Amino acid sequence: MVLEISSNPLKEESKISVLFVCLGNICRSPTAEGMFRDKVLVSGLADTVHIDSAGTGDWHIGRPPDVRAQKAALARGYDISDLRARQVSTADFDEFDYILAMDEQNLRDLHAMRPNTFRGHLGLMLQFSQSNDLTDVPDPYFGGEEGFQSVLDLLETASEGLLAHIRDHHFVK
Ligand code: 4NP
């Protein structure tokens, strides 16, 4: 997918913040959070990249990730058991530089609540994936185990792309 990332007014800031958003915040976005946190840690940027996730819906507020998501993530080395769901709010647009939606419906919902003052990047997570032209990380909630594997596969390449983008645009001089 061709990257069309909005301008980069945050270049001078020392800390970059990333919020992953899906519908329930119990499957896709906590998986993205745990995976990206791990990749950022390995790359030595843990102190300079702030990471969180949220859902556009409110049904699962306060709950841990879906046990199927936890199990699939842990099998790949990502422990997401301590995460708790929360709902995205307009205040998140003040706090986060990158707000990344898991699918186009999530993105539409985020655009509807985006304040005019937001100067960060609001877009799709899979924009950062070089390996396919998909827009959506499919919602695995009502499906089987294979859906959770697909979420992990899609997020692996997108997370690598996102990390490379952040390094290139914010940290590499
Ligand atoms: P997520 O998956 O958006 O990846 O967390 C879902 C979780 C719960 C529901 C839908 C999607 N739900 O309808 O409760």
By annotation, the residues acting in catalysis are 22, 28, 139
Half-sphere exposure of 110 (CA within 13 A, CB side): 29
Atom of ligand 1 nearest to the CA of 59: 14
pLDDT per residue as tens, the chain (173 positions): 444 555 444 444 579 999 999 999 999 999 999 999 999 999 999 999 999 999 999 999 999 999 999 999 999 999 999 999 999 999 999 999 999 999 999 999 999 999 999 999 999 999 999 888 899 999 999 999 999 999 999 999 999 999 999 999 998 65
Query: Would you call 124 helix, strand, or coil by DSSP?
Result: strand
Q: Is residue 1 part of a domain?
A: no
- Site to probe by mutation for ligand 1, drawn from 20, 21, 23, 106 as the one with most ligand atoms within 8 Å of Cβ, is 23
77: left (phi over 0), alpha (psi -120 to 50) or beta: left
Distance of CA 62 to the CA centre of its chain: 18
The pLDDT, as a whole number, for residue 12 is: 46
Contact indicator for 84, 25 with CB cutoff of 8 Å: no
Contact indicator for 89, 120 with CB cutoff of 8 Å: no
**171: Cβ below 6 Å to ligand 1?**
no
Distance CA 68, CA 80 (A): 11
Q: Is residue 8 part of a domain?
A: no
Q: Is residue 6 part of a domain?
A: no
Q: Tell me the pTM.
A: 0.93
Q: Is residue 151 part of a domain?
A: yes
**141: Cβ below 6 Å to ligand 1?**
yes
- Boundaries of domain holding 111: 16-170
CATH of the domain at 78: 3.40.50.2300
Q: Give me ligand 1 centre to Cα 44, in Å.
A: 32
Q: How far is CA 140 from CA 93, 143, 153, in A?
A: 27, 5, 13
Q: Is residue 36 part of a domain?
A: yes
Q: Is residue 26 part of a domain?
A: yes
- Site to probe by mutation for ligand 1, drawn from 27, 29, 109, 148 as the one with most ligand atoms within 8 Å of Cβ, is 27
Structural domains counted in the chain: 1
